[in-house]
Amino acid sequence: MLSPLLSEFSLSAFSPDYATARTRFLKGVEALALPVFFKSLHYAGEGPWGEALSTDVAWIGDQAARKVVVLLSAVHGVEGFAGSGIQVDLLQRLGSGEAQLPEGVALLLVHAVNPWGFAWCRRVDEQGIDINRNFVDFSQPLPANPGYRELAGALIPADGNWAAADQQLQDYRARHGQFAYEVAASGGQYEFPAGLFYGGSAPAQGRRNLEWVLNQWDWANREVAVIDLHTGLGPYGYGELICDHPLGSEGLHTARRWFGASVTVPEEGNSCSVPKLGLVDYAWHAILGRNSCYVTLEYGTYPIAGLLQTLREDHAVNTPGPYDWQDPARSAVREQLRRHFYPGEPQWQTLVLLRARQVVQLACAGLVAGV
């Protein structure tokens, strides 16, 4: 008889909803023997059953530690099902003694950067803002995306003529290629509030809470490995390490030194992702010091064509106004969206946890080894 790679207890780190995920996260933090600094950052609004929302921050270990591993979950709300599971698994392993932090290394967990999207099973926040396109300087002219402007009416057809809209998108791909199409559609835009990958017109709640984290500790004088947990792009169950540090930068060099040749770079065209505007990455890039890096751990689910179609349908049905959780059309799209970003099968969950454990281990080893 073959033994399972992971126990049922390990897989229980994954939760069926935001409220359960938060409860498991808090219990995991409370069970630790290690010193913990904890802060719950209020998030205005509530979940579908009236539950309170928050971004929960746990610093585990010595707050004076000069080496830190940071894990962010649910920057894109619905992707929090996987991200929270990874964080809870790490807490459970630390609590049981199965895993230990290396001497001199601290751990910072930021649970649910976008708790509204996590609770309501949407990728965006309550304003339709993609938090991972929101980190731009709103005091300056906002970036333009002429490709999205051309495709806006086809991505979300107001007349409901999906066949004509799909033909327009196909024509654009034929003229410009798949890479340019993905940049236009998903790279970020600031003109169409009801559209896909909308970066907003001001800092969103999720950004403001994350900025509290950025301002709370002296990151420039520490060595830091930031791991941002995402799902939806790439082969099923594969955890790709994506680095958006500029080509030739010290941050990119550090990422490759710590994580090896598995690191991909959108600017080099070897990633499942394409270059994007307004990423959370850029806020960290601006404050990280030497021997630090920011990587996205992106878990694949289903093909990108299905991803974009699901997001198009999500935005088409979730028009501005009161959000009716029980509405059949919204419910159907919600379940479709959830499944794309969180397949939920034990096989996929196992791949997710095993890769996450490896990446955290590599980050710790890189920090301990130093230059």
The answer to whether 57 and 211 have CB atoms below 8 angstroms apart is no
Q: Note the pLDDT tens digit of each residue in 249-284.
A: 999 999 999 999 999 999 999 999 999 999 999 999
* Single-letter residue type at 70: V
Return phi, psi of residue 362, to 5°. -65, -40
* % residues pLDDT > 70 (the chain): 99
Per DSSP, what are the bridge partners of residue 39? Answer: 57
pLDDT category, 324, cuts 50, 70, 90?
Answer: confident
Return phi, psi of residue 60, to 5°. -110, 120
* Single-letter residue type at 322: P
**pLDDT in the model for residue 371:** 64
Q: Is 338 helix (H, G, I), strand (E, B) or coil?
A: helix
Helices 304-317 and 178-186: crossing angle in degrees, nearest 10, is 30
The beta strands (E) that lie in the chain are given as 36-46, 52-60, 67-72, 105-111, 223-236, 239-242, 263-264, 293-300
Q: What is the pTM of this model?
A: 0.97
Distance CA 295, CA 279 (A): 12
What's the angle, vertex CA 221, arms to CA 216 and CA 222, rounded to 5?
A: 80
Which residue has tokens 């999500």? 314
* pLDDT at 210 > cutoff 70: yes
Contacts of 161 (CB under 8 A, 6+ apart): none
Q: Note the pLDDT tens digit of each residue in 68-112.
A: 999 999 999 999 999 999 999 999 999 999 999 999 999 999 999
Which residue has tokens 């390490």? 241
Residue range 179-199: average pLDDT? 96
Closest to 260 measured CA to CA, from 123, 114, 362, 150? 362
* % residues pLDDT > 90 (the chain): 92
Contacts of 286 (CB under 8 A, 6+ apart): none
Note the Cα 233 to chain centre separation in Å. Answer: 11
Distance CA 206, CA 172 (A): 33
Contacts of 149 (CB under 8 A, 6+ apart): 189, 191
Q: Provide the residue ranges of all domains of the chain, joining segments of one domain with +.
A: 8-134+204-369
Residue range 129-156: average pLDDT? 97
* pLDDT at 1 > cutoff 60: no
* pLDDT at 323 > cutoff 90: no
Dihedral, 253, 255, 260, 265 alpha carbons, nearest 10: -90
Q: Is 225 helix (H, G, I), strand (E, B) or coil?
A: strand
Fold of 8-134+204-369: Aminopeptidase (3.40.630)
Q: What is the mean pLDDT of the chain?
A: 95
> How would you class 1 by CB atoms within 10 Å of its CB: exposed for 0-12, middle for 13-18, buried for 19 or more?
exposed
**pLDDT in the model for residue 2:** 63
Other beta carbons less than 10 A from residue 153's beta carbon:
15
Q: How many secondary structure helices (H) and strands (E) does the chain include?
A: 13, 8
Query: How many Cα atoms occupy the beta-carbon half-sphere of 278 within 13 Å?
Result: 30
**pLDDT in the model for residue 124:** 97
Return phi, psi of residue 248, to 5°. 80, 0
- Sort strands 293-300 and 223-236 into parallel, antiparallel or unpaired: parallel
